[in-house]
Amino acid sequence: MEAPNREYIKNLWERQPNETSKQYTAFCIYRDAGPERSISEVADKWSNSGATSRLNEWSKKNHWVERATDYDEYIDTIKRFKNEEAIIEMSERHARESQLFQDKAIERLKSLEISELKPQDLIKYYDIAVKIERLSRGVPTENIKREEVKEVNDYVITPEKLKKPEVRDAANKFITTIANSQSSTHGVSTDSK
């Protein structure tokens, strides 16, 4: 038996030209049963007496397997399209919300007095800002080799080290230098009012 003429039929899962309403109703039960569909499942829903042989005949005559497969592909395409739309909408929403948060953070940052911040706060903010910049440019935030860790640890400013006045002074000078160089580069004033 040859397949139905696709040029004549808009969608294979719709009612076929020579298909009776009973045949189409039975096909709809088959089609809507999903990938695990079977004629015996349709027979159970279709009539109490079974009618499996009649349903097998209709299935062959009206190409139920091919039509149901087309329908499954159609539904899968719709689901994928809707999911892609949802992902795009989510990304756009997150970007908008992120921008609002950034605007508020920058607004607050502009009103901060450097003298009000503890050195460890400045270090923390600077570290976060560097990580955000690296992420936004697609650069890894952690790229230190194991051999370098010991050497770097000698220069890490910890709360214990900040208890020493000379370390605090050096950290403040370092942070002020960075803040001044960043503000002159980006046109942000760090001068207190």
Under DSSP, the state recorded for 6 is: T
Answer yes or no: do 52 and 122 share one domain: no
Residues 118 and 154 in one domain: yes
What's the whole-model pTM score?
0.49
Which is it for the CA torsion 104, 106, 111, 117, positive or negative?
A: positive
Return the amino acid letter for 166: E
Domain containing 93 equals 1-111
Same domain for 178 and 133, yes or no, is yes
Q: pLDDT 10s digit of each residue in the chain, 193 long?
A: 455 554 545 788 889 888 999 999 999 999 999 888 999 888 888 775 568 888 999 999 999 999 999 999 999 999 999 999 999 999 889 888 888 888 888 888 788 787 787 888 878 888 888 888 888 777 787 765 555 545 545 666 677 777 888 877 777 777 777 777 655 555 544 454 4
Q: Which residue, of 64, 96, 111, is where some domain finishes?
A: 111
Decide which of 67, 91, 111 is a domain's last residue. Answer: 111
Cβ count near 23 (within 10 Å): 20
Residues 77 and 124 in one domain: no
